[in-house]
Structure 1
């Protein structure tokens, strides 16, 4: 192994360089545009993303957290309302709930996909009916690019009069039964931070909805209530890269397959991809029985805290979530960005095999 090798968890500059010509043209176009906030560039990106996703309503906002807050509020979540989140929910969804004055109710995740467990939700709703403390909505996070079980969660929501909101902040390009995520819930939130599969130069987000009546409400809240418009520069850069995002996700899937092939025989738990799902691999998170050894090996390669503890900011203090607790203890994130050099991936695999004594 090259002792001078420094492996990155992500390389946003490499992604921008692949689309350098289109990105430069987009930036130049914005500098000549009449509006730097909202305006025709934002309109064009919203329309392009809606076509790509397969929805009619797409509203650009300033960040993924803004997108989550608007998606929840537009779905009818008022201050004081309870919202179900999975026990691995990170800072963004929790910050969005705080922003709108809602109360998170954590439930456990499925052991295979680490997405919200329908059986755990079913048990919670049964208890809520008895105590009359029913939630108003369910926020279904598509974990690391793998879709949550929207059919089961949607059926439970429909049976109890709850809004289903999709958290697609890590799931651009993920799909269920051939349909992209973000097309099923009443509303859905996307994040386009620089490290995402579709990344802006800075912060950016977007809200979609399956209800035409909600679009006017979303735009009013974006412009007049939350004041979180998407700026023209981010919109133009995102639109320039949208045409190549499917190819980038295919490369992520190829890298993930190489990890699967090399690591599964070592007794490492690799990400699950259900037969009806398309995993977008925003992150590639493994679970190991010797997490400290694995994390030390990755740190030696240059990977930092996010790789060593991908769910380190999950708050499980008041959650009955044994599956999530075990995932927090065992999880390690590996680099899976499309431009990952083959020798860097081999170094990661070798380091893990050595550290785990395989």
Structure 2
């Protein structure tokens, strides 16, 4: 029987943004009468670069543009391979294709579901032009080892930090390990705008200069095109102002996400579920993802209990119909098993404790037989 209780959402913008002076940020921009590439953008770029611990932040229109422009800044040539994972929603592959490259798929670690260093070591023998390492669900990859492998091979490393704002290890935050880091500020992200937005971060002065040109037509100065391959990808003043209001709260919001994840891990420890491997600083808890072969049954039961869920992500890149069977000969058993068993539970700042307990009770009921 369907629950009469209100549905617990997978994410709630209303709850996540409660208490933040978003209207004040909007008024500030409206009163400035400056809407593109103004003071708010410059201030946010400086503040986010300082927070991440990287010299340069170049804001752009969205996270996909961030990845594409990062590849263009590295001078990716048509047909060159870019190593990436296949279990992260096709976002890297989209950017690789837009930049003219070809994905080279690398297997993931069984525990973290992020790029496996041993698999990357093998892939580097094919001499890819770049590597995109995704910090999936907010979990830092084994980024130190991946970075060491890339340095040894002379291959640039791009960190895909779209889900890992604020995750850290050894005092270093996501986005400070690779040659370039790419962020998304989509509204559901740990640091989310009220629309699309993104950024590319780097410590390299020359790459930063290329990225600033590429985001705005390839200009070296107004109307002077110094490089081909540029586009129109700018974060607007309004989104920058909103992000400035939210950035000081990121640590607090991540702590709440981790606290919810820790409660779930504690409650589900004896259930037949694969749980996140960390609830520490290296996990930003963007998504709380469990794995079970009974995924569809559990999702149906939770829906009846008024608990929203989702699947991130159901189709491995190598099985996407757009490829038309191009990767039929590629075997990535860990990635494909994850796509077949992963599901996300509600976990976001502002989520009430009573909702967390409702989720716990509903999941437990399914495995106790009440929902079978």
Superposition TM-score tier, normalisation by shorter sequence = over 0.9
**Partner residue of 1:188?**
181
Which structure 2 segments of 5+ residues have no match? 218-229, 320-326
SS state at 2:32 partner: coil
TM-score (norm. length: structure 1): 0.93
Distance 1:324 1:263 in 2: 23
Query: What is the 5 A alignment of 1:248-263?
Result: 248-263=253-268
What is the CA RMSD across the aligned residues, in angstroms?
1.7
Mapped contact 1:86–1:140 kept (Cα < 8 A): yes
SS state at 1:265 partner: coil
Matched, 1:337 2:337: no
Matched, 1:47 2:46: yes
Which deviations, in whole Å up to 9, do the C-alpha atoms of 1:87-125 show, x marking residues without a partner?
213132222112111111111110111000111112223
Distance 2:170 2:111 in 1: 18
Distance 1:353 1:9 in 2: 18
Distance 2:279 2:352 in 1: 27
**Partner residue of 1:328?**
339
Matched, 1:235 2:240: yes
**Partner residue of 2:8?**
7
SS state at 2:93 partner: helix
**Partner residue of 1:18?**
19
**Partner residue of 2:224?**
none
Distance 1:234 1:101 in 2: 29
**Partner residue of 1:351?**
362
Shift of 1:84: 0.5
Distance 1:17 1:125 in 2: 46
Mapped contact 1:75–1:165 kept (Cα < 8 A): no
Mapped contact 1:64–1:190 kept (Cα < 8 A): yes
Shift of 1:16: 2.2
**Partner residue of 1:316?**
318
Distance 1:308 1:39 in 2: 38
Compared CA separation, residues 9 and 274, structure 1 to 2 (3 A): closer
Distance 1:72 1:18 in 2: 38
Which deviations, in whole Å up to 9, do the C-alpha atoms of 1:25-78 show, x marking residues without a partner?
110010022421111110011011111111110011110111111122223323
SS state at 1:166 partner: strand
Mapped contact 1:64–1:206 kept (Cα < 8 A): yes
**Partner residue of 1:131?**
none
SS state at 1:60 partner: strand
**Partner residue of 2:270?**
265
Matched, 1:172 2:165: yes
**Partner residue of 2:135?**
142
Aligned length: 347
Shift of 1:302: 4.4
Matched, 1:154 2:147: yes
Matched, 1:74 2:73: yes
**Partner residue of 2:206?**
213
Shift of 1:80: 1.7
Distance 1:273 1:204 in 2: 28
Range 346-355 or range 1-10, more displaced:
1-10
SS state at 1:18 partner: coil
Which deviations, in whole Å up to 9, do the C-alpha atoms of 1:272-325 show, x marking residues without a partner?
0288x5210000001123222211122224455xx3422114323324211111
SS state at 1:266 partner: coil
Range 321-330 or range 250-259, more displaced:
321-330
Distance 1:173 1:301 in 2: 33
Matched, 1:197 2:208: no
Mapped contact 1:46–1:59 kept (Cα < 8 A): yes
Distance 2:191 2:181 in 1: 16
Distance 2:143 2:74 in 1: 16
Mapped contact 1:284–1:335 kept (Cα < 8 A): yes
Which deviations, in whole Å up to 9, do the C-alpha atoms of 1:126-169 show, x marking residues without a partner?
3x2xxxxx211110000110111112111221122111000000
**Partner residue of 2:100?**
101
**Partner residue of 1:91?**
90
SS state at 1:316 partner: helix
SS state at 2:216 partner: helix
Shift of 1:216: 1.0
Range 8-17 or range 138-147, more displaced:
8-17
